[in-house]
Each structure stands twice: as C-alpha cells, then as structure tokens.
C-alpha cells in the first residue's frame, strides 16, 4: 500500500490526532471502539493455512466487517482459555495484579510514539486484557464490575485485542522502565494465544510458521534449494576473494551444527551476512555442517503460541542429535535467541545429549551455554578476536561509517550488548553510537518485528519505526553514518524498508558482513570490492 511522503508523515506524527481513531479521543478509553480500515491491520490468516495448523475456526473473514464468523460460544472459549493460562503461567497472574498505573511505561513504546494512540501505551495495552481478568477472575471485579476497572468480554473488546495485540512487537522496551518488571510482551503473547482459540490471527505469522514446520524454513524452500543458494554465495565469495569455501550439509559427525535464519541464505542484505559466516569458518577451518532440515533459526512460534514455539525450537535439537554434533553455533537472529534464552530450557531442555560448547580454536568453554549448548556467532567471533585468531584489515570497511542497532531480542532477552560492539570495533575504523537512550537495553525496536513485517500495514510500520529511524538520522547528520549494522535477520529486512523511507542514504548490514569484508584469507587475491560487490574506499570506478 502506497503511503504519504516521509516529510508529511513526520508532521502528521508530531501534530495530527491518533492514526487509529482519527481524532483526539474525548471519551474514556474503553468507549473508543477499534475501527478497522485498510492500512491499520494485517491480513487474516488464509483458511488453508489455519487448516494446516489444525487451529480452530478456519474460514474466510474480514476484520472490517461486523461478522467475524466466530464460533457461537466464542466468549466461553476465550474465558476458559484465560482461566487455563492464569492457572498455568504464574507470571500472567502477577502481571494482571501488580500494575500500579504509575505511567512509567506510557511513553516508552514506539507504537505509541508513532501513532499517538493511547491504547498503544503499554499500560493500556495490558489493560485491554486486565479489565476482562478483573471482571471475571477477581472478587472486586465480580462485585463492583466497572467501578473496579472490570469489563465484560464483548465483540468490541475482541476487536481491540486483535488491533492492539498486533500493534505490539513484543520488544520488551516497556518492561525495562516498569518498576515492577511487568512484561507487556508476555501479555501480548497471551492475548494472541487467546485470539487463536477463536480463529483470529494473521497470515504473515501463520504462513511462515507452516512453511517452517513443513520444509524447515519460513520461505518453504526445499532442502536442495537451500543447499544451492549457499553454493551460489560461495561462487560470489570466490569471485571477490579467489577463495572457495566448501561448506557441508547434513554431515554426520561434524563438531558443530550451524543454524541461521533462512533470510541470511535467501534475501538481501542477509546473504552478505551469510557470506561473512562462510568466510569466517573457512578462515579458522571450523569443522561444521549446515542442516537442510533445521534450515531456519527464526521461530515464528514465539509470535503464535507456546506449543508452536516449542515444536519449532525442538527441530534444531532433533537435527543436532541426528547428526551427532557436539554443540550448536547460531547465526545473527533475533527471536531464535529469545526462545533459546528465555524458554528453551523449560520447553525442550536441558540439551544433555550435547556437550558444553568449547571453541576448537581458542579452547574457550562457553559456560553461559552450559544448558542450551548453543553459542551466538558474536560471542564466538569476539572470542576469536580476543585470542588473536583472526587476521583482520579494518581498512577494507573504510567506505562504511557504521553504527549499531541493538536488536531487541539479543539485547534485552539475552544481554548480548558488548560482544557485537567488540567485534565491530575490530573490523571497522569508523563507528559511532546512537544516543544513549536508544541503544543497549533501551534500544528502540525496528517497528515491524513479531510478524508485522508485512506490506499492508506499511504506514503503521513506518510510524512505529520512527523513534529508531530518528536516532539513525541523528548519527547520519552528525557523523555521516552510512551503515546501520545489527544482529537480527528480521531487522535486516525491516530496517532496510525503514531507512529507505526515513534515511534513504543509510544501508543495513549484519555484523558478520563487516567481519567478512575485513578478514584476510590465506592465499586470497587482492580485493576490489566488498561482499556486496561495492567498491572499497579508494577503489571507486
């Protein structure tokens, strides 16, 4: 969908009323209905995809209509689902009970900053579910109803849930500022789970999840295509460096299984990140294999429900077991690492059939991965650099003036803050941080995570990404930054769209691409270009 020009949208974000309601609301929040119109919602999941997952209520339906073709007893289904989740997840009950409405989270959400819609304040987003919880599951709510902040589950409430639980990227920025540590992302996850129970969901999540289930990756690509694509990347590497990388696939007995998001193998600019991995592994002679079945690190189950998340995560470990590797090395992904660090152990772990990861090059034992047996490529690379195992020429990145976007999941869900920076500072000569309140734990989301990277909501995405884009603009204007690096495949896709819109002269890359550019390979030819065939500094044609 075409959207207005960036300068007009910028003024609209600053001065105009809410995108969703079309006016500054004059009523109590719960008297302002969710109004679906083109551009403010992602398309519902296709009937055949819902059927494939064996999820409830597959059908054709239209969010703009007043008939969502819900099951007759949909309210009972939702309330029963909520009860089960309150019994199962203690965190949910705590999050429902302990908000003191201090408002510290209110202006921390990029969706609120970009849309001006009060229901995008995290406290109010949570209140959409909390009000129903109060009404049906607390004594005060049962006795006093609205006076105690309770409200009945109605079709209007369901519409709000669909709108606002899909205007949250589960980025967890708000939780950093909440004095009680309330994690609105977890509330959104529960909200989405409940919506699934009555067949209310979006295609951009369920179709990649179905593909991943069926073929091992989001794109639905077959094993031979996955292998062929990596070999094409090896051809490009050979053309640029004169070095032939020889990765193996499904090789039993390899020491390490390497898993990365499929976007690194199939889509720009991720493919340049993958070329960086291939060069790195060749450089150090790593004994590793790809799997053409666990050909996806990303886990769209995180955006769907607990069972799906568990199933997609299990595939990686099943492959590690089948191939008999010692441990797993993971590429630059966001939600793969969130699932690994926050949920894997209680869902599928601990992975005791694997060994505690030990770098075969430096001897470092990654005790932090003692349970998951999986090491992040930035940790692995930083360790190699620290031990002087890489021959690097950062001048090869002198055409790049880089900054670093802390991807929400690696930063907030696993605390991966220093390692990518350490790597970057060793492979580029020009590096500048964005403002302090927009990086590290306080990083701003790309605005399109959790399955919202879909074109029909482009204006919403550009609005939600504005706080991040604004920080990029700051370093672009101040330091002439022209490269936004990150360690997440979704970010590489979404930040590219975001920068094309707000900062068209800033490109996006993975940290490993810059590593690949800087690596001096034994026997290589003189490099004329970087990994994306761009001329190096001083080599402009």
From the list 167-175, 223-231, 398-406, 430-438, the region that binds ligand SF4 by CB under 6 A is 167-175
- Binding residue for ligand SF4, selected from 185, 243, 493, 498, defined by CB under 6 A: 185
Smallest distance from ligand SF4 to CB 518, Å: 34
Smallest distance from ligand SF4 to CB 444, Å: 9
Q: Which is nearer to ligand SF4, 120 or 517 (CB)?
A: 120
Residue list 93-132, contact with ligand SF4 (CB under 6 A): 99-105, 108-109, 111, 122-123, 125
Q: Which is nearer to ligand SF4, 68 or 164 (CB)?
A: 164
Which DSSP category does 335 fall into? H
The CB density around residue 317, as the number of other CB atoms within 10 Å, is: 21
From the list 63-71, 168-176, 470-478, 514-522, the region that binds ligand SF4 by CB under 6 A is 168-176
- Binding residue for ligand SF4, selected from 130, 173, 196, 468, defined by CB under 6 A: 173
Residue list 444-463, contact with ligand SF4 (CB under 6 A): 445
Number of H helices, E strands in the chain: 25, 7
From the list 14-22, 61-69, 175-183, 252-260, the region that binds ligand SF4 by CB under 6 A is 175-183
Q: Which is nearer to ligand SF4, 112 or 380 (CB)?
A: 112
Report yes or no: 440 and 411 within 8 Å, Cβ to Cβ: yes
Site string for ligand SF4, 427-446 (x = CB under 6 A): ------------------x-
Q: Minimal CA–CA distance to 281: which of 64, 105, 117, 516?
A: 516
> 150 in the Ramachandran plot: left (φ > 0), alpha (ψ -120 to 50) or beta?
beta
From the list 63-71, 179-187, 280-288, 497-505, the region that binds ligand SF4 by CB under 6 A is 179-187
Q: Which two tokens stand for residue 373?
A: 């047996």
Report yes or no: 352 and 396 within 8 Å, Cβ to Cβ: no
**Rounded distance between C-alpha atoms, residue 349 and residue 333, angstroms:** 20
Smallest distance from ligand SF4 to CB 451, Å: 13
**Rounded distance between C-alpha atoms, residue 123 and residue 105, angstroms:** 7
Smallest distance from ligand SF4 to CB 142, Å: 23
Q: Which is nearer to ligand SF4, 195 or 445 (CB)?
A: 445
Strand 327-330 to 402-404 pairing: unpaired
Q: What string of DSSP letters covers 303-357? A: GT-HHHHHHHHHHHHHHHHHHT-SEEEE-S-SHHHHHHHHTHHHHT---TTSPPP
3-class SS shares of the chain: helix, strand, coil, % to 5: 50, 5, 40
Smallest distance from ligand SF4 to CB 122, Å: 4
Residue list 481-540, contact with ligand SF4 (CB under 6 A): none
Smallest distance from ligand SF4 to CB 447, Å: 9
- Binding residue for ligand SF4, selected from 182, 195, 382, 514, defined by CB under 6 A: 182
The answer to whether the bond into 269 is cis (omega within 30° of 0) is: yes
Report yes or no: 374 and 327 within 8 Å, Cβ to Cβ: yes
Q: Which two tokens stand for residue 8?
A: 């007009």
Q: Which is nearer to ligand SF4, 109 or 411 (CB)?
A: 109
Which DSSP category does 223 fall into? H
From the list 164-172, 271-279, 358-366, 489-497, the region that binds ligand SF4 by CB under 6 A is 164-172
From the list 137-145, 182-190, 217-225, 254-262, the region that binds ligand SF4 by CB under 6 A is 182-190
Q: Which is nearer to ligand SF4, 122 or 261 (CB)?
A: 122
Smallest distance from ligand SF4 to CB 181, Å: 8
Smallest distance from ligand SF4 to CB 135, Å: 19
Residue list 263-292, contact with ligand SF4 (CB under 6 A): none
Q: Which is nearer to ligand SF4, 174 or 466 (CB)?
A: 174
Instruction: Kindly list the strands in the beta sheet with 507-510, ordered across the sheet, starting from the edge strand earlier in the chain.
Output: 402-404, 483-486, 507-510
**Rounded distance between C-alpha atoms, residue 312 and residue 255, angstroms:** 23
Determine if 468 is a binding residue for ligand SF4 (CB under 6 A).
no
**Rounded distance between C-alpha atoms, residue 485 and residue 492, angstroms:** 8
- Binding residue for ligand SF4, selected from 136, 160, 170, 207, defined by CB under 6 A: 170
* Range 177-197 burial, b when 16+ CB lie within 10 A, else e: bbeeebbbbbbbbbbbbbbbb
- Binding residue for ligand SF4, selected from 168, 209, 423, 488, defined by CB under 6 A: 168
Report yes or no: 114 and 13 within 8 Å, Cβ to Cβ: yes
Q: Minimal CA–CA distance to 222: which of 262, 180, 181?
A: 262
The set of residues, in sequence order, having a beta carbon less than 8 Å from that of 387 and lying 6+ positions away, is 361, 362, 364
Q: Which is nearer to ligand SF4, 30 or 249 (CB)?
A: 30
**Rounded distance between C-alpha atoms, residue 300 and residue 309, angstroms:** 7
From the list 47-55, 176-184, 210-218, 517-525, the region that binds ligand SF4 by CB under 6 A is 176-184
Q: Max Cα separation, the chain?
A: 79
Determine if 180 is a binding residue for ligand SF4 (CB under 6 A).
yes
* Count of residues near ligand SF4 by CB under 6 A: 27
Backbone phi, psi, residue 402, to 5°: -105, 150
**Rounded distance between C-alpha atoms, residue 248 and residue 254, angstroms:** 9
Determine if 171 is a binding residue for ligand SF4 (CB under 6 A).
yes
Site residues (CB under 6 A) for ligand SF4?
Answer: 99-105, 108-109, 111, 122-123, 125, 168-174, 178, 180, 182, 184-185, 188, 445
């Amino acid at each position: 969908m075409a959207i207005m020009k960036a300068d007009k949208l910028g003024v609209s974000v600053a001065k105009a009323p809410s995108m969703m309601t079309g006016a500054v609301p004059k009523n109590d929040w719960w008297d302002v209905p969710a109004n679906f119109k083109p551009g403010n919602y992602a398309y519902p999941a296709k009937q055949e995809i819902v059927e494939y997952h064996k999820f409830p209520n597959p059908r054709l339906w239209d969010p703009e209509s007043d008939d969502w073709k819900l099951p007759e007893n949909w309210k009972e289904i939702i309330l029963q689902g909520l009860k089960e989740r309150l019994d199962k997840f203690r965190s949910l009950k705590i999050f429902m009970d302990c908000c003191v409405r201090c408002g510290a989270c209110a202006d921390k959400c990029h969706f609120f900053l970009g849309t001006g819609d009060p229901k995008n304040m995290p406290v109010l987003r949570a209140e959409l579910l909390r009000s129903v919880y109060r009404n049906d599951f607390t004594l005060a709510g049962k006795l006093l109803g609205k006076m105690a902040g309770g409200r009945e589950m109605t079709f209007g409430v369901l519409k709000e849930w669909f709108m606002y639980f899909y205007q949250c990227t589960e980025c967890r920025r708000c939780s950093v500022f909440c004095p009680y540590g309330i994690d609105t992302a977890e509330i959104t996850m529960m909200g989405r789970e409940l919506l699934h129970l009555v067949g209310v969901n979006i295609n951009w999540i369920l179709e990649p999840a179905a593909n991943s289930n069926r073929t091992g990756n989001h794109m639905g690509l077959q094993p031979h295509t996955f292998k062929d694509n990596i070999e094409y990347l090896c051809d490009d590497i050979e053309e640029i460096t004169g070095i032939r990388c020889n990765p193996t696939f499904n090789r039993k007995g390899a020491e390490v299984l390497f898993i990365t998001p499929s976007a690194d193998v199939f889509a720009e600019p991720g493919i340049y990140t993958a070329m960086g991995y291939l060069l790195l592994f060749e450089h150090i002679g790593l004994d590793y294999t790809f799997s053409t079945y666990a050909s996806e690190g990303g886990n769209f189950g995180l955006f769907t429900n607990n069972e799906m998340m568990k199933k997609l995560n299990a595939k990686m470990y099943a492959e590690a077991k089948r191939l008999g590797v010692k441990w797993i090395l993971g590429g630059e992904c966001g939600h793969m690492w969130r699932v690994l660090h926050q949920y894997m152990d209680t869902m599928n772990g601990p992975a005791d059939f694997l060994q505690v990861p030990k770098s075969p090059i430096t001897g470092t034992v990654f005790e932090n991965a003692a349970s998951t047996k999986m090491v992040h490529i930035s940790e692995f690379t930083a360790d190699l650099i620290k031990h002087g195992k890489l021959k690097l020429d950062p001048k090869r990145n002198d055409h790049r003036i880089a900054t670093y976007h802390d991807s929400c999941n690696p930063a907030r869900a696993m605390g991966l803050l220093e390692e990518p920076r350490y790597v970057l500072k060793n492979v580029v000569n020009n590096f500048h941080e964005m403002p302090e309140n927009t990086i590290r734990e306080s990083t701003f989301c790309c605005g399109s995570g959790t399955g919202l990277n879909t074109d029909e909501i482009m204006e919403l995405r550009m609005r939600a990404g504005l706080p991040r884009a604004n920080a990029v603009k700051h370093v672009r204007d101040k330091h002439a930054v022209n490269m936004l690096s990150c360690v997440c495949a979704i970010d590489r896709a979404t930040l590219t769209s975001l920068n094309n819109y707000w900062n068209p002269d800033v490109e996006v890359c993975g940290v490993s691409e810059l590593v690949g550019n800087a690596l001096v390979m034994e026997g290589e030819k003189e490099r004329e270009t970087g990994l994306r065939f761009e001329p190096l500094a001083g080599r402009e044609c």
